[in-house]
Chains A and B, each alone.
Chain A
Amino acid sequence: MLIPHPLLGLRDAQEFTYFGDASLLDRPDGMAEGASEQFHDYLYLRDNPAGEHQELWFHEQGDRSWLVVTRNTLTHEIFKVEFATDVALARRSAT
């Protein structure tokens, strides 16, 4: 698999470490009501879709950036790659 890095172009997936669903960016508020329930869902439950999936990859053997890769889990086709910081900031300003 080749991952089109936003700055570095096509990079071999072997340079990356896979972390999981990009919902892990949406850490719940630990002070909120029902936080323990929310943290359980956040940490342990997954949508695990067959098809389009947003996921976190860490460019560990490259520029050490965290990326959000939008990929098809049925075909391994990659639709979009963004910096995780950009995605996290966009999600924060949206809420």
Chain B
Amino acid sequence: MKYSAARLLWEGLTGHKGWGRTWRDPEPKTHYDVVIIGGGGHGLATAHYLAKVYGIRNVAVLEKGWIGGGNVGRNTTIVRSNYLLDGNEPFYEFSMKLWENLEQDLNYNAMVSQRGIMNLIHSDAQRDAFRRRGNAMMLHGAGAELLDAEQVRKEVPFLNFDNARFPIKGALVQRRGGTVRHDAVAWGYARGADQNGVDIIQNCEVTGFKIENGKVLGVETSRGYIGAGKVGVAVAGNSSKVMAKAGMRLPIESHVLQAFVSEGLKPTIPGVITFGAGHFYVSQSDKGGLVFGGDIDGYNTYAQRGNMPVVEDVAEGGMAIMPMIGRARLLRMWGGIMDMSMDGSPYIDKTHIDGLFFNGGWCYGGFKATPASGYAFAHLLATGSPHETATAYRLDRFKTGKMIDEKGVGAQPNLH
């Protein structure tokens, strides 16, 4: 069914009885050309592009829980392509372009809102670094603007410009960045994949791989054995657990990132704002809540909840740039599990096992990458070679010395 204004009007007049399911709930078949493990944003996007762009339609997406119940529904919904390094920027810019056309592609309202992202500058050295980053962005067609303090003041007058410790000296702005309704991204991709014949199988946990003579033949699941020509794993947060079933150790640690939402407020913050002197980012949802977060807790964990010190740190960051945030009451907070990779950049690669492909290591930047990650993973699954924007995301890059360390802190996952 195609969604449109006319359809909405018709359903409105007839009691909304004709909508039907957004996607089917099929029983798993015994064999698929491609099985994708993980029905999160990346897995569903992979299935969508596999079917739509690469014409591979005998595909299943296996999800342990339910669609939209993982990290795709637990993030702070920010999309941007303001990266510095050559290995990253073309990929994230490709993602940005896919975001810009996502709703037309999926015929689904994902509330893509390019309200801009503003990275605040607090020192001369930081201005130099951001000028360099802005130039890298412009070289890859992402667009960037460097604002001085007066220009920032005009756009967001409520910030604390004259903080003695962290005065605001300007900002790097990407106007095309913004926010996207995260649940709708999952639902839209699920619907898109389903319409092209992909089976989305929920409550189906993968318990093992069937591997013979170095080739993957299928997966054991809680709903029985499913044969597969190729298997793609996109389970960020649980990558080490799943790949361990195939006997692999990964350059990944699992960490928790906390996020926070305030009570609903009148429109206050026009776009996304990030604090340059600490780690704090904030935007306002369409419902009015301030959505914000900061650093990961910093120790290995699979518990989807964090500890109080990071809550305090995030609150301090917020108070430093935006004292009015102290008047808002916190409505809810939660934690999500991140694949923290060794250099802060992701992996989209084949493995040493024939037919087994891996997508993970997204650190806390997985949401903005959803479309490009799906597209590039579909390309890899369909053609066997990496997509042109994702050639750097190799699993063996620590052996070859081709790390993509955006933050320049070395092989220490909890510092990225």
Q: Which residues of A contact B (CB under 8 A)?
A: 1, 13-14, 18, 20-21, 40-41, 43-50, 53, 55, 71, 73-76
* Top-6 shortest CB links A-B: A48-B240, A50-B302, A45-B249, A44-B398, A44-B251, A18-B299
**B342–A44 touching, CB < 8 Å:** yes
Q: Given that A18-B414, A20-B414 are known contacts, is A73 also in contact with B303, CB under 8 Å in the complex?
A: yes
Partner of B300, one of A44, A48, A75: A48
A16 to chain B, nearest CB (A): 9
Partner of B303, one of A14, A49, A74: A74
Q: Which residues of B contact A (CB under 8 A)?
A: 238, 240-241, 244, 249-254, 298-303, 307, 309, 342, 398-399, 411-414
- Summed over the interface, the residue pairs from A and B with CB atoms below 8 Å come to a total of 65
**B411–A44 touching, CB < 8 Å:** yes
**A13–B413 touching, CB < 8 Å:** no
**A14–B298 touching, CB < 8 Å:** no
Task: Tell me which residues across on chain A come within 8 A of B250, comparing CB atoms.
Answer: 45-46, 48
A25 to chain B, nearest CB (A): 16
Of the listed residues A21, A47, A75, the one surrounded by the most CB atoms of chain B closer than 10 A to its CB is A47
A74 to chain B, nearest CB (A): 5
Q: Given that A1-B307, A40-B399 are known contacts, is A45 also in contact with B251, CB under 8 Å in the complex?
A: yes
B294 to chain A, nearest CB (A): 15
Task: Tell me which residues across on chain B come within 8 A of A48, comparing CB atoms.
Answer: 240-241, 250, 252-254, 300
Task: Tell me which residues across on chain A come within 8 A of B298, comparing CB atoms.
Answer: 18
**A73–B240 touching, CB < 8 Å:** no
Q: Given that A18-B298, A40-B399, A73-B254 are known contacts, is A47 also in contact with B309, CB under 8 Å in the complex?
A: no
CA A40 to CA B253, docked complex, whole Å:
16
B88 to chain A, nearest CB (A): 19
Partner of A55, one of B244, B254, B299: B299
CA A18 to CA B298, docked complex, whole Å:
7
**B398–A43 touching, CB < 8 Å:** yes
**B412–A20 touching, CB < 8 Å:** yes
Of the listed residues A53, A71, A75, the one surrounded by the most CB atoms of chain B closer than 10 A to its CB is A53
CA A48 to CA B338, docked complex, whole Å:
12
**A76–B249 touching, CB < 8 Å:** no
Q: Given that A44-B342, A45-B249, A46-B252 are known contacts, is A20 also in contact with B413, CB under 8 Å in the complex?
A: yes
**B301–A76 touching, CB < 8 Å:** yes
Of the listed residues A44, A48, A75, A76, the one surrounded by the most CB atoms of chain B closer than 10 A to its CB is A48
Task: Tell me which residues across on chain B come within 8 A of A21, comparing CB atoms.
Answer: 253, 300
List 19 other contacts, CB 8 Å, given A20-B412, A55-B300, A76-B303.
Answer: A13-B299, A14-B309, A18-B298, A18-B299, A20-B253, A20-B413, A21-B253, A40-B399, A44-B342, A45-B249, A46-B249, A47-B244, A48-B250, A48-B252, A48-B300, A50-B241, A55-B299, A74-B302, A74-B303
Task: Tell me which residues across on chain A come within 8 A of B253, comparing CB atoms.
Answer: 20-21, 46, 48
**A41–B249 touching, CB < 8 Å:** yes
Task: Tell me which residues across on chain B come within 8 A of A46, comparing CB atoms.
Answer: 240, 249-253
A76 to chain B, nearest CB (A): 6
Chosen A-B contacts, 12 in total, with CB atoms closer than 8 Å, are: A18-B414, A40-B399, A44-B342, A44-B411, A45-B249, A45-B251, A46-B249, A46-B250, A47-B244, A48-B252, A50-B241, A71-B299
B121 to chain A, nearest CB (A): 28
**A40–B302 touching, CB < 8 Å:** no
CA A13 to CA B297, docked complex, whole Å:
11
CA A53 to CA B253, docked complex, whole Å:
12
Task: Tell me which residues across on chain B come within 8 A of A55, comparing CB atoms.
Answer: 299-300
Task: Tell me which residues across on chain A come within 8 A of B241, comparing CB atoms.
Answer: 48, 50
Task: Tell me which residues across on chain A come within 8 A of B414, comparing CB atoms.
Answer: 18, 20
A56 to chain B, nearest CB (A): 10
Task: Tell me which residues across on chain B come within 8 A of A50, comparing CB atoms.
Answer: 238, 241, 254, 302
Task: Tell me which residues across on chain B come within 8 A of A76, comparing CB atoms.
Answer: 301, 303, 307
Task: Tell me which residues across on chain B come within 8 A of A20, comparing CB atoms.
Answer: 253, 300, 412-414
